[in-house]
Amino acid sequence: MPFISAACLFVAIAALSSTAPAFAADRLTGLPHATRSEVIAQHGMAATSQPLATQVAIDILQQGGSAVDAAIAANATLGLMEPTGSGIGGDLFAIVWDAKAGKLVGLNASGRSPYALTIDHFKQQAMTEIPPYGPLPITVPGCVDGWFELHKRYGKLPMPAVLAPAISYARDGFPVSELIAYYWEIGGHRLKEWPNFAGVFLPGGRAPEKGDIFKNPDLAKTYEVLASQGRDAFYRGELAETMATFCKRVDCFLRARDFAEHTSTWVDPVSTNYRGYDVWELPPNGQGIAALQMLNIIEPFDLKAMKHNSGAYLHHLIEAKKLAFEDRAAYYADMDFSNVPVKELISKEYATQRRKLLDPDKASKAFPPGNPRLDKGGTIYLTVADKDRNMVSLIQSNYRGFGSGLVPDGLGFCFQDRGQLFSLDAGHPNVYEPHKRPFHTIIPAFVTKDGKPWLSFGVMGGDMQPQGHVQVLCNMIDFGMNAQEAGDAARFHHFGSSAPTGGKMTDGGWVAVESGVSAEAREYLKKLGHDLRETHGGYGGYQAIMYDAARDVYIGASESRKDGQAAGY
């Protein structure tokens, strides 16, 4: 390499800055919210919440695997590396852009409640809500069946090859990353007394720290069984037998029948058009349509004129969230048990009706649910795209961190505690019933433009998810931010809306805002009557892949609040 003096380099940079588009410091000034550049690649892209999982996905793509193959491989790796938010003891939802068919398809791979557990058991125990940990909130894990359903339709590599990287990492170990280590310590302290938890997740009696090498040989063996014997090993074979025997011993109500009769469901995603972009979510039992309801409510407002993250802008989004979440509490449930009026809830006409309740000058204390029948009276998120222009938006969770805290003998994973989200109020659409899917918070999202894929994205994090979806989309569509900026920009999180479990909002709830929101905006919100409080975290975890059809390239973005990475090839 020829020697370049500092003086020459300075002159070259000065000349470049006077003639070329803004870059470096000037570029960062133009993108005040971005923590890093977007990632751009031609043949494939992956974005996950853990860099090693992202690299696994890229490796699978480079071996000729499909986007779905890579997503499954990454999810299996995250189940090992980020057990604080994922694992095969939990559920899965996905939206897939099928390039050959030119359309989106959805998969609901959430599990159901035990046949043997009824609401009478909770009443006999004088319970008013389902506990968050232990045997009672456990529902059938749907993740594994979701993997095999996706693979059967869209996989290219054999499942042993797809699961091989996760098996290797589980057997040989991996260094724990920083944020995951933080949540691991919190979860470990809370769950250490539950059966088998400490033996698997607290080696040496403590949670692994940042950089510690963690191994999970039990999970490696479980993955090996799945790779060689398929999904039936988990739902009808040796793994199912182990889980059912364990459940009986620890007073969990799941039995062999619950595993054997589990099925995933292919569903049609639903959408609304927001300023020319079709935003797609999955129908209930998830909460995805809350994001569509929010978008419909805010669409007529000139958000751009209000300015990004101004008090007026945040107020309108917060009030729209409150309105949508009252309907979420009243109507969202398993559609096999309840006639959820999805079409009406996400209609523009219904949004017009609900929008009348939004006071631009005052924070609401409570809203009634609406009447959507106008003519009749709630993780890890990852996204992958392949060379054939297939894309998958996938979200998977144990619910509360590690889940229930119960680890079936010798299998290396926690059962989820998703059943906590059932209501115990008789007559509620989401009331606890046997073999029923609970209300779900985890939601993948997708956006198309003129019938073509535009954005595969998600924002993990409980009730934050619909709020996060809307904020990301407003950042991009209303304010012109790029995919990375849109995720990095400061967010709000409203707490305290009525819940699908039965709790009611009576005092307007409260709002947390990140440090990037100005003091002026905070004071404006307080003046309107919003209760602002401080919170550490809770603003979600975003990953995204945008498809630039004009250039035929992928653009990836990864959440700056997580350990994650977007990468391409």
Where is 327: in which H helix or E strand?
helix 311-331
Where is 234: in which H helix or E strand?
helix 232-235
Residue of 539, 432, 459, 495 whose CA lies nearest to 114: 432
Instruction: Give the C-alpha separation, 105 to 113, whole Å.
Output: 25
Phi-psi region of 24 (alpha: psi -120 to 50; beta: other; left: phi over 0): left
Mutual orientation of helices 311-331 and 288-298 as an angle, nearest 10°? 140
Tokens for 207, please give them: 């949670």
| Angle formed at CA 378 by CA 251 and CA 485, multiple of 5 degrees | 140
Contact assessment for residue 287 and residue 141, using Cβ atoms and an 8 Å cutoff: no
Contact assessment for residue 562 and residue 179, using Cβ atoms and an 8 Å cutoff: yes
Instruction: Give the C-alpha separation, 482 to 566, whole Å.
Output: 14
Tokens for 287, please give them: 């909460």
Looking at the DSSP assignment, which residues form a beta bridge with residue 394?
94, 382
Could you give the C-alpha distances from 26 to 13, 414, 491, 507, 555, in angstroms and in order? 12, 48, 24, 45, 21
DSSP labels for 137-203? T-----HHHHHHHHHHHH--S-HHHHHHHHHHHHHH-EEPPHHHHHHHHHHHHHHTTSTTHHHHHSG
Instruction: Give the C-alpha separation, 184 to 176, whole Å.
Output: 10
What residues are annotated to the active site?
Answer: 379
Sequence-distant (6+) residues with CB within 8 A of 446 are 95, 97, 104, 269, 279, 280, 391, 393, 453, 455, 456, 457
| Angle formed at CA 461 by CA 458 and CA 466, multiple of 5 degrees | 60
| Angle formed at CA 285 by CA 283 and CA 286, multiple of 5 degrees | 70
Contact assessment for residue 59 and residue 569, using Cβ atoms and an 8 Å cutoff: no
Q: What is the DSSP letter of 134?
A: S
Where in 348-426 does DSSP place strands (E)? 380-385, 391-397
Half-sphere exposure of 345 (CA within 13 A, CB side): 27
Tokens for 214, please give them: 């963690």
User: Residues in the chain, how many?
Assistant: 569
